[in-house]
Structures are given as structure tokens and as C-alpha cells.
Amino acid sequence: MSTISKKICLIGDYGVGKTSLIRRFVDRQFSDKYLSTVGVKISRKSIELSDSEQQKNITLQLLIWDIEGSTKFKGISASYFQGAKGAIIVGDVTRPESLENISEHIKAFSKVNPQGKTVVALNKSDLIDAEYLEKYCQLYSFSDNNSFVSTYASSAKSGTNVDEIFTTLAHSII
């Protein structure tokens, strides 16, 4: 069995739920209070993945980078992205303008990491109807970008699709 570490980043507008998704995935918790992130915080979480080609299990340690809320993608410095193998791009389904910025966030990440992979999380899915979620998932798929893997409707509150987002990204980067 071997262990490898990979850096991934959470990217998205202020208040979309980046810190909450990490907290749900790493600590299995959710808080309604606003969890302000000061500067950059790095969380670690190891997951087991099976490598079907080599028929062995791999322990992947994710180094999950979380950044203080920024409303403009231009404000995120390239050093935050540097060395990352993947990113989770987060939007808030109750704030359409945060969804419109997703494609710019993907481009900014891909520019620094052309080989990197991205998964889109349309977060706070517990707050809107399922029919809208389906539409949003279709609308916010970016098959024209090489880094794009897939889009999920997620909820850090209920836990829906949170593990799926992280494990899908993990599989795509090893």
C-alpha cells in the first residue's frame, strides 16, 4: 500500500459554502454560523482509492486549501493555485451571479494548472426545488474545458453529494 499527497483548492465567490463543504467532508459537521476563513487554511483528509490497473489500494492524502472569501476571481492570486492537481469550483444556487462566475474560476485555475482537474459544486441544493437543480446542472457543465470532470448539486447542510464531489476529484487526479 502506498500513500500519496495531492493539493486541491476550493474556489468560488464569498459565502457560497467552500468552508462548509470542507467542514462537512473532513469533520462531518455543519454550522449555520458564518465560518470566516482568515487568509488560507489547509485541511488534510486521507481517502482509500482502489487502483484497478495495478490491483492495489492507494491511500490518497488530500491537502485541501481554503481561501478567505473573495468576490472577484481576479482577486485570487496565482500562488493559491500553484501546485494544485485539482479544484472544486463552488457556486450558490440561491445566488445566480455566483454561478455565472464559475466558468471564469475554471479558466483561472486551468491557466495556472493546465493538467489540473475541476469538479463543479452547485451548493445549497437544500434551498431550491429539484427541477431547478437539474436545469442548473445541465447549464453549468463545461465539457469544452479539458479540466472539467463533472457537476454536482451539493449541500454542505444535508451532506448530499459532498463525499461524491471530493472522491470524484480524487479519482480524476491520480
Q: Give least dist CB 83 to Mg ion, A.
A: 21
Q: If binding is defined by CB under 6 A, does position 40 make contact with ligand GDP?
A: no
Residue position matching grid coordinates 462531518: 28
Residues 61-100 close enough to bind ligand GDP by CB under 6 A = 69
Contacting residues for 155 by C-beta, under 8 A, at least 6 apart: 123, 124, 125, 126, 161, 162
Please give the size of the binding site for Mg ion, defined by CB under 5 A.
Answer: 3
Residues 106-165 close enough to bind ligand GDP by CB under 6 A = 123-124, 126-127, 155-157
Query: How far is Cα of residue 51 from the mean position of the Cα atoms in its chain?
Result: 22
Output the CA–CA distances (angstroms, integers) from residue 71 to 58, 95, 109, in the order listed. 37, 12, 16
Residues 3-32 close enough to bind Mg ion by CB under 5 A = 18-19
Q: Which residues contact ligand GDP (rule: CB under 6 A)?
A: 12, 14-20, 31-32, 34-35, 37, 69, 123-124, 126-127, 155-157
